[in-house]
Each structure stands twice: as structure tokens, then as C-alpha cells.
Structure 1
């Protein structure tokens, strides 16, 4: 009997040894179309990814360097256990889909370095892409620090990139960068350096032949910095980069540090067609599940907002009361009162406005400066967010006043301590039942799944920039037609869309139907509308009714047609109604034959398009057939409703 046991143990050890030496290892998606290979080359870890047999990520590097240990070389496989199937189901009010199911193949790779220290690499391969992360399984009482992450993404030199430069820290107005507020460069050759030394932001979109890949990451769980792609990418190999020295909370740490055990954030590569990219939920699929808390107060919806068109002079009691009435008339849930409300209106009068808004079934959202040494913006309230004690005091006061949310602006970057600052604000706001909008901020990276009270975040060159300078207005159509495939793929985005009227000192370059399409095309838990009450009065009643009945959340999404910067047409479903929104990113009229076969049971259809005169609307019924021809003006758009 003992001999038999010894033989079994020997066979098992030999099997494990064989498994750990038979490389490269392969991990496939559930539908078998995505293949990941992982192996060692001269004891350095690498991976490569193909889709339907076509290479997407060429041989790329994996590994990290800690101050106390090097996991970039001298590695050996300890063990590669049997793969597992991951199935996760969750719902999210601020996403493109209400109910989400995630299925993936999970594979652990247990490694050790030349000193015998342990590191795991964990891959999860789903039908729409690849996620991977590092894990240090040992335990420590002291803090470990990562000095460099060697992860790369290598693309064929024939590939093209749609990439947004990362701003250098403490540049821009009142030192408020980086705020993810540059334009995406369109279809550039891979390997072209970023024009800004800080690198490229996520999400980063790449086209490789007929296939696409979108690179991003999950939000750090308080133990890592936010990353980006480095400025230099020789031969199309993009390298993970860490924040610049100024991107830390005052007195806080910049780079990744933690005690062991330690998981790093997930690296995400969404892979497939543009339809796959647009409909994917990978950015939240691998994010940590929602914290256990009462989130019944989180209610998506639309908001009126005076500042974007009327600017600082609109922060006064009479104007804000008018915009509360405006929100009520439009059946919108909120009114945002922006900067300097504490000095120009005051807490007592804000309480009066909150009470008045409650009667009108409208909630108030208030603006705050994140303050700290990272910005010199003069707007107030300042310093209320900086400590747990001051946040609790302020949030308790707001909760008692009946305030529904806060907009916190002018953050200072992606250092680990700054990323923790976002989490700290969300935690304290959650306790006091406040929804949160981060402005002048980092990319959410799926944080809205973990903290559902994060309803939106800016991290985009939004509508306000098109009111500052003509050159921003001139490029707005192309910019907006890029966003659905990049910034807004996974995370809610506070672009603050939709202007039908005049913009002071600016000649508007997009049509009214283009603007009407944006609140459907763009995803945001709370959609802050740029249009003023006075201009809205001039809109046709059918446009007002469309906006009064705009869904607060979406149940489903379908990609219809598009190409970054040129065209974006997306269908969204809420309840028993689909809305198809389309915009033309080019100043050339297009005649499109839309395939509506997926909506054959939705026979009650109506189209809102541009009218014959400048900045006008038109509406026509739509046939119930499988196809529909729609003409879109240059820099124009449309919305189509389909009901049963």
C-alpha cells in the first residue's frame, strides 16, 4: 500500500514538472476565438494574443521590479494548475447594460525568481478580450515598493492607434493638469511618440487590419498608482508608465507600495470588431464588486446646469431657482449649482433652494474644489474634501440640507495617494447618501462598479471647452465621434452635452440634431445638459418631449455603424423602447442605409433629423421594414425612437 502511495506521489510530481516545462502555455476564450500564449524566453516572462488566428498582441513582456526583488528575469514556473471557468453576474445603473453576465477562462501561473520569491500572473480570457494581473502570495509585515512595471503591448508596425496624450502634471490653467483633457490623435502609426512626455492615457484604441484592441486597466484598490502608456513605443511596443512626481496627494506616496499579499490592478485588452469594443463591459467585469451598502439613493437621471453657457455670473439665487424650474419643466431629476455657491449664494439660501427643488421633485447637486497643493484654482468651497473629518462634517451638513450629490473638481493626478483620495471621498459620500461626480479628474477605470454612488466623471475635453475657444468648437464633431469607441466605452462620462442655441463669442459648428444625439450616444449616470432654459423654449415641442422622456438608465446596447472620428451610430434600449443615435464626425453629408432587422418587432418608429434651415429640426415617421435610409448633414446627426 505504501509503495502504491509513493508511486502516486511520484507520478503527480512528474506531472506537475511536465506541466511547468511544457510551454508556451495556452489559454483560450470560452468560444475558442481568442488565444493567449504565455511562456519564458531566457527566464523572462512573455505573452502573446491572437484572435481568430490573427495576431493582435505580438510577443510582449510581463514582469515587475520591487525594491527588494526582481521579477523581470531569472524566472521559472513553479506550477501551472488546471484552468478554471469564471462566471459573474451583476447589475449596474450607470452602464450601457443593466444586467451583465461575465464568463471567462481563468489561468494561474505560479512563478518564482532566482532568489526563490514568489509571484503569480493570473489571466482571464473572455470572448471579448483578455485581462491579467500580478499577485504576490507571500506575507510581509513591512511595506514593499514596486519601482517598475515591465508590462508591454506590442502591435504590428502596420497597426494604427487612436491615442490621447497625457498632460504633464501641474500644467494648464491654475496647474490643474493632468485631467485627461487632450484630443485623441486619429489613426496614427504605432510607434509614433506622444507629443507630451507624460505619455498616452487609457483607453488606448488600436486597429490591426480588420481587428481592434482597446487597452485599459481597473482602478487600484488603494495599493497601486494609476498608470498610462509611456511616450516612446519603439517598433510598436507600448510600455506601462507610472505617474510624474507631482501627481501625489500632499505628503502621500506616488508609486505602488503595499504589504504582502498584494494584487495589482487588472490590465485589460478588449479584442474584436468595433461592435465588440462598443458593446463590451470588460472595464467593469473585472472591477471589484460593489461594496456592501445601501445604494437605493443612487438614481440616474438628467440635470439642468447654468454654468457651461452662462458661466460664473449665473451662480446666483435667482438664476438657480430658474434652472430648478427648468429641470422640473423638462422632467429632469437634478439641478447642478456650480463653483462659488458658498460665497455668492450661501448655505442658508442653498437650503432654501433645496427645499424649493424638493417641492418640484428636483434634487440639488453642489460643486466643490478638491483643493490641496496640486491646484491654484481660486474657486470655492475649498479644503472641505481634504480630510476624513472635514468631509464627514460637510457631508453630514449636506445630507441634513437634502442635497443629493457633489461635484468635486481639479484633482492632481494618478499617484497612489491621489487614487486613494478618490476612494476616500466616495466612502464618506456613501455613508451620507450622496452621489458623486469627479471633474478635472482621472479615468474612473470601473470604479463605479465598486462604489455605485460614483455616477459620472469628466476625464474628457467636454462641452465647456467648445465654449472657451473657437478651435475647440471647430473639431468638436470629430472629437465626439471618437469618444464612443474610446473614453466612454466602459466608464460614465460627464461631457455635459447638448446646445441648440448660441454660444457667446463662438460660432457653433455642429447641427441641432447632432447635439440632440449626444445625450443618448454618451453614457453618464447623471447627464448634465448644457442647454439653457431660454434656448430650450425655442425648441419644437417634439424635441422637448423627447428630452422629457429620455431614459435615466439603459438596459441594452447595439452597435449599428461607425468609425472613430468619422461616424458613430449606436442603439440603446430602456424598457420597451430603443433609441438609435447617430452623429457625423465629418463635414460631408452622408446617406446611410441602416440595418434595422434586429428591431423588427419595434414597428412604431419616428425620426428626428436636421431641418432645412441652419440649427433647425425636422421629424418624419419611419417605415417598419428591415432597412432605413437616413441622410446626415455634415457635422449633423439624428435620433430614432422605436417602440412596440
Structure 2
């Protein structure tokens, strides 16, 4: 028996070595890669989930792929902000030569695959990338029609033949009128219960970000404009496919796993937190010193660390200046952030201040002034897309801001692609169709609840998302989500700067338990778990900060819905629980304004019934 066991173990070891040497495989063995005629296929638990029939670059002929294992990656790293504080970076890396001038580097993780190209012998502009993903008709997908601000819906479809909708109607179309250009990330369900999120990561100075173009059943990876002439070597960003169960996708840190480690020597000054924000309720409020004071005072009452002073602060009325407003905030113990126009996107007719950051010497002067007067961070808005010029500009802004201890929030900008690891002073990015759109279009009112349930499965997986959640009153157009739905968004949506956009009197009219919730709300998490839900219908997530779990769920439908809440992963026999839920769309149902509900044994709820477009939050200690 002992001899047979030894032989069996030896055989298993030989099988593992053989697999490692001959076929790309993930550390847990669930993901494998096989060669196809001119590309590769990715298999999950021995079933194909992704076909990449075309690889390489135009004008460079590929040879047959022969995989060579390079090394096993096994390194944990810490994130100052995000869905997880300690990230496990574990992968098997392989290299295959496509040509004497071109090789493919492939990393297989337990939750997905990432690859990039390494070119040599360049002498001029980059050739055109040929990478294409095949998504057959009939496959469920949630895709964003591309726009330079990445502000749009992720409707579910089983076809790539979709006509542009709403504000997207002027985008790139086929002769038949179908939308052709799509933004990252794209969510696909290639098999029932198996999901795949396509995106990219680790954009560097000499690179443009990419999008996807429809070509029949193919989605072609298409980098934006890059005017640099290259000599010698260059590598592409990482092409990323997060693959597995919905839990795998929600928990994944693959975008930051393949991104450059932190480049800042000192990060002690970087503090995430909740922000009071003026724009949503008062479009031009940041040029009014008295309105700014209201939001500073609200931050004091709710115990928020930050206030954001938005556009037009350089046109302050009544003889006041931005320095007066910044001084008032600092005197009250609130850290002020201020807004800038990037001046590369929307310029004519756009709000000010403009052209203060474009030149290196002007940017240095402006950020030094911010640091001197006590500004804690900057919100920079209205970029113009994914071109190499804009990507380099963003990196310049992040590095200069870090030099002067300024936090950064990019708005009207591309989606996160890993900079949050490399430059942890980047605490949030818009790149989302968020609550700001209640200011702009009536269509958001009816669409918001369903849209809100797609974002945790799509946009927010790849990085921080400044949706500006939780508004109880109405802006230009009303919302029809419940108060508990709105409160739940502050937990469901990961953003290290979480902006509260409603009027001070709206927040201060809430029960004391709700006001206390804002002052205690973490904006960065030690652990994140998927509990239940499906894009466009509902979502329940659990996030842990220290020894406290925040569990949030929302109903994206127009009918009452019971949400599954299996919290068996929360260990311990005694819990203190506070509940914020729907009594009806305009009232709160709370478990005590002062006291926590004490549970013994395994008495955490397994199901919670929500109102139409409703929601809930559980705070569990």
C-alpha cells in the first residue's frame, strides 16, 4: 500500500510538471490555454469560455505558438484603498514567440488570464494591433457604448447588433445603423453561471488605452491614437480577462495584480474618506462662499473629513476668494479639495478654471500653491478620451500632485486601468453614468434602479467609481429609488473618496442613526464578498472593515423582491446588527436609532424583502 501511494504521488508530481511545461495552466488548474489556428482559446474547468482567434500585429506574420514557462508569480501586496487591503498576486507566466520581433507574455491566474505583446526592432509608428475576441451571437453580454467619458448604460443583450441609444446616437455606427465601438469593461456570460470580464491594465506613458470594435462575431482590441515614433523595444498594456463565478469576478484584483507597484516613497499622507459635494444640488454653488460654508458645516455635523469645492471657484462672488473658502474649511477641521478643468476635452463654453495644469511649469506652480494654502486634493475634469497624449497627461498630473501631497479624483475621464496601485493618491475616478445624470436627462429616473445593479458586476470590478451616491431629495429630475436603496449605494460602490451630493438640509433631516452612519462609513475595505444577485435585477455585497461587516443590497426591478442574504461566512456566535431598510419608498425601517440589535447563535437574516427599487444595509459587528 505504501509503495503504491508513493508511486501515485510521483505520478501526480510528474503530471503537474508535464502540465506546467507543455500547456499553460493556472495555479489551481481550473484555467488552461490551448492553441488554435492563429490564436488561442481559454478554458475554464475544461470548457471553452474565450476564443481569441487572432493575435499579433498587422504586417508581422505569426509562427506557431510554442509555450515556454518563465516563472511562477507569488507575491502579496498592500493596497491603501480598494475592495481588498491585502492582495494575493499568484500566477503562472509563459512566453511564446509569435515572430523574431514579437513575443506574447501570458499570465494565468486562478481568476483569469492576462497577456501582453513585447515588440523589438521598431523604427517608427506602432503597427496596428490585431487582437480579437470572438463572442458568438446568442451569448449574453453587458456592453458599454463607447464615449470619451465612459458615461453610459450596460444593457444586457444576446447580440452585438445594437443600435446606439440616447446621447450615444452620434457614435461610430455600421451602415445598418448598429453601434460599432465599445468601452471597457465588457461582461460576458459564456456559460450559465460562468462569467468573463474583458478589460485592460497598466497603461504607461508611451501607450494609448484601447476600446473594442465590432467586426461580425469579433470584438477587435483597438488602441486609441499614439503619435510616438519608437526605436527598439516596446510592450503593450495587459489585455485582461477575469473569468469564473460571479464571486471570482467581484473579488478579483487582477487589474492591479498586473499593474506596476506603488511608485511613491511616502504614502502616510493619503487618507480615504467621505466628502460633502456642492455641485449636484447647486450647479453653480462653488462660486458662492455662503453655500460652501453650508457644506463645510454639514461635514462638521456628519463628521466627514472632506469637502469638495467644484467648478467656478475662481469666480467667487461678494468679494470672497477660494483662499477664504479653503481657510474656513481648515479652521473647521475639514480638508478641502478643489476642481480644475483639464483643458484638453471640453473647453469652449466649459466652466473654469482652465489652462492651469497643461504646462509642466504651470502645473508645478498651481499644485505648490494648493499645498501652501491647505488644499488636500484636486478633482480634474473633462478629458478627451484614451489617446497616448491624455494617458501621459494623467500620469504627469498624478506624479506632480503626489509631490505636493494632493489626492486626485479624475472626472470626465477614462475608466481605471491599474493606476490606483501605481499612484495610490488616485483615490477615485468617474468613468460612470452616475447620479450626476439626474441633473441632465429625464431618462435616468426610470433607468437608474436597474442600471445601479449592473455597476457592481461591470464598471466597479476594475477600480474605484465616483458615482456620487446617496441623494434623498431631487435635483433637476426626480429619482424613484427608495432611501434605503440610495444608502446602500455608499457600500455597494467602492470609491476611496465617497461623495455625498445632496443638500445639507436633506442629510440633516434624516434620523440620527442615518447621520451617524455617514460619519462612520469606511471608504476602503479589507475584504469584499459577493452574496447574491444578477446584473440588472439585484445585487447583495458584503464588505469588511476591521471587525465590522457592511452588507448592502438593492432591488433593480419595479416589483417587490426578496433578496438572498447568506452570511454564513461571517464567523462567531454573537453579533451586533443595525439595519437600515425600506418601510415604504419614503420612510426608514430601522432596528433602533440608538441601540444595536444583539443576535445570538446563527441568527443573521437569510432573506430580506425589499420594496420596488428598494434596498437595505446591515452593519454587523
The normalised TM-score by structure 2 is: 0.89
Verify the 8 A CA contact 2:566 2:607 in the aligned structure 1. no
Pairwise CA distance, 1:191: 5.8
Q: Within 5 A, what are the aligned runs for 1:97-246?
A: 97-112=84-99, 117-138=100-121, 142=123, 144-167=124-147, 178-190=148-160, 192=162, 196-197=171-172, 199-210=181-192, 211-230=194-213, 232-234=214-216, 236-243=217-224
| Correspondence 1:529 to 2:516 | no
The number of residues matched between the two structures is 582
Check 1:361–1:166 CA distance in 2 against 1; reply closer, same or farther (3 A cut).
same
Partner of 1:481: 453
Verify the 8 A CA contact 1:593 1:627 in the aligned structure 2. no
Verify the 8 A CA contact 2:582 2:589 in the aligned structure 1. yes
Pairwise CA distance, 1:154: 1.3
Partner of 2:63: 75
Partner of 2:53: 60
Verify the 8 A CA contact 2:552 2:617 in the aligned structure 1. yes
Partner of 2:618: 640
Verify the 8 A CA contact 1:466 1:476 in the aligned structure 2. no
Verify the 8 A CA contact 1:460 1:493 in the aligned structure 2. yes
> CA RMSD, aligned part only?
2.2
Verify the 8 A CA contact 1:223 1:256 in the aligned structure 2. yes
| Correspondence 1:427 to 2:399 | yes
Residue of structure 2 aligned with 1:323, choices 292, 295, 298:
295
| Correspondence 1:332 to 2:304 | yes
**Higher alpha-carbon deviation: 595-604 or 321-330:** 595-604
Verify the 8 A CA contact 1:517 1:638 in the aligned structure 2. yes
Pairwise CA distance, 1:408: 0.7
Pairwise CA distance, 1:204: 0.4
**Higher alpha-carbon deviation: 307-316 or 577-586:** 307-316
Verify the 8 A CA contact 1:229 1:238 in the aligned structure 2. yes
Check 1:132–1:609 CA distance in 2 against 1; reply closer, same or farther (3 A cut).
same
Task: Give the SS at the match of 1:459.
Answer: coil
Pairwise CA distance, 1:536: 1.1
Verify the 8 A CA contact 2:286 2:313 in the aligned structure 1. no
Q: Within 5 A, what are the aligned runs for 1:325-404?
A: 325-344=297-316, 349-372=321-344, 375-404=347-376
CA distance in 2, matches of 1:313, 1:543: 25
| Correspondence 1:586 to 2:557 | yes
CA distance in 1, matches of 2:461, 2:434: 16
Check 1:600–1:203 CA distance in 2 against 1; reply closer, same or farther (3 A cut).
same
CA distance in 1, matches of 2:522, 2:361: 37
Task: Give the SS at the match of 1:476.
Answer: helix
Partner of 2:28: 31
Partner of 2:246: 274
Task: Give the SS at the match of 2:603.
Answer: coil
Check 1:256–1:460 CA distance in 2 against 1; reply closer, same or farther (3 A cut).
farther
Check 1:161–1:57 CA distance in 2 against 1; reply closer, same or farther (3 A cut).
same
Task: Give the SS at the match of 1:149.
Answer: coil
Q: Any gaps of 5 or more consecutive residues in structure 2? A: 1-18, 166-170, 173-179, 592-596
CA distance in 1, matches of 2:245, 2:462: 16
CA distance in 1, matches of 2:447, 2:517: 27
CA distance in 1, matches of 2:285, 2:91: 52
CA distance in 2, matches of 1:373, 1:563: 35
Pairwise CA distance, 1:53: 1.3
Q: Within 5 A, what are the aligned runs for 1:548-627?
A: 548-601=519-572, 603-612=575-584, 614-620=585-591, 621=597, 623=599, 624-625=602-603, 627=605
CA distance in 1, matches of 2:281, 2:136: 45
Partner of 1:629: 607
- Cα shift readout 1:590-619 (whole Å, capped 9, x = no counterpart): 12342121113162112110123x421111
Pairwise CA distance, 1:374: 5.5
Check 1:345–1:254 CA distance in 2 against 1; reply closer, same or farther (3 A cut).
farther
Check 1:486–1:256 CA distance in 2 against 1; reply closer, same or farther (3 A cut).
farther
The normalised TM-score by structure 1 is: 0.86
Pairwise CA distance, 1:93: 2.0
Verify the 8 A CA contact 2:555 2:610 in the aligned structure 1. yes
Task: Give the SS at the match of 1:290.
Answer: coil
CA distance in 2, matches of 1:314, 1:616: 31
Verify the 8 A CA contact 2:432 2:467 in the aligned structure 1. yes
CA distance in 2, matches of 1:468, 1:155: 34
Q: Any gaps of 5 or more consecutive residues in structure 1? A: 1-21, 168-177, 244-252
